[in-house]
Amino acid sequence: MPCTLTAQHSRFPLAKPFRISRGVKTAADVIAVEIAEDGVFGRGEGVPYPRYGESVESALNAIEEVRPAIEAGADRSALMSLMPAGAARNAIDCALWDLEARKVGRNVADLIGAPAPRKMASALTIVIDAPERMAEAAAEVRKAPLLKIKVDANDPATQIRSVRAAAPEARLIVDPNESWDQALVEGMQDALVEAGVALLEQPVPVGADEWLENFKPAVPICADESVHTAEDLDVVARRYQVVNVKLDKSGGLTAGLELAQAARERGLGLMTGCMVSSSLSIAPALHVARMSDFVDLDGPIWLLEDLPGGVRDDGGVLIPPDLGFWGT
């Protein structure tokens, strides 16, 4: 049956700046898609990311190009060949999942054949700042089960030690966002072990990680920017021990589930991540998070105001959105 697709840019101011090695974010710019069919609506959200050559304008243009096909009834399977992986495809794919669930009166978990999302530990992010400020931020959430430390190449050992001292019990992920080089990764191994770091995420730039094929890390290394879809795994599996599935990279829940399953089949560890976004981006990602060793879905926690009924944080434990928010 023909449907109607609408897409728009939405901006969510942040409660405080989100600072990583490649810049500072003060608002989340997202693309919200709604697909309506016979009075039933499905919603999805994508976050265009400049690191991948995306912008709000380019994402909206990409959606416009496939609008005729979607409105003519193209399904999720067809969408995979109509669009490349990225934020635009993610928004449409997740809207199609939501629409299908509402049309048949079942939730997305039933459609997947998996348990419904439950509350789970999800990383709270400590952004880059002076070590004493990072320690203060960590002290405020020291009882959280998992913290993610954003660092750069400017004395990351001190930053990490400061957070560890303030939060001695939390599991730690360290994320340099591609800002390190081979020498720094090798030189940081003892400091990572000393601080009890559980995971090092994408330390070096994409295209400068070939040497990892012969490197034996003391702490598992997770591919983020280096992995987008299952097609990347032939190379990634030789260099990394864990992969970070983000729906904005994979281009939707359909491809995200495919990537997660393929990674598991190769014996790789699994992480679920997100961009800074509203809960409309996070609700679909929960279906990958249930499979994951590490969950990092605190994007909406940074917003000044999230969408009503979205996910909630309880001391580092993520509570799923209200019934009916997405996919239910």
Is 246 known to be catalytic?
yes
Of the listed 25, 103, 148, 150, which one is catalytic? Answer: 150
Q: What pTM, to 2 d.p., does this model score?
A: 0.96
Q: Quick one: pLDDT at residue 98?
A: 98
DSSP reduced 3-state for 35: strand
pLDDT category, 328, cuts 50, 70, 90? confident
| pLDDT of the residue at 2 | 81
* Active site annotation includes 148: no
Tell which CATH architecture fits domain 120-319.
Alpha-Beta Barrel (3.20)
Domain with CATH 3.20.20.120 in the chain: 120-319
Which residue's entry shows tokens 């009075």?
39
Decide if pLDDT at 93 tops 90: yes
**242-284 residue pLDDT tens:** 999 999 999 999 999 999 999 999 999 999 999 999 999 999 9
Q: Which of 37, 33, 73 is nearest to 56 (CA)?
A: 33
Q: Which among 295, 300, 256 is positioned nearest to 277, based on CA atoms?
A: 300
Contact by Cβ (8 Å): 96, 75: yes
Q: Which CATH architecture has domain 4-105?
A: 2-Layer Sandwich (3.30)
Instruction: Report angle CA 31, 33, 36 to the nearest 5 degrees.
Output: 170
- Per-residue pLDDT of 49-86, as tens digits, reads 999 999 999 999 999 999 999 999 999 999 999 999 99
Give the mean pLDDT of the chain. 97
Q: pLDDT-derived band of residue 123, with 50, 70 and 90 as boundaries?
A: very high
Does residue 1 carry a pLDDT above 70?
no
Domain with CATH 3.30.390.10 in the chain: 4-105
From the list 119, 143, 148, 246, the catalytic residue is 246
**What are the tokens at 36?**
């309506």
Residue spans of alpha helices (H) in the chain: 56-71, 76-82, 87-104, 108-112, 131-140, 156-166, 182-187, 189-194, 233-239, 247-250, 253-265, 279-289
What is the C-alpha R_g of the chain?
19
Encoded amino acid at 181, one letter? D
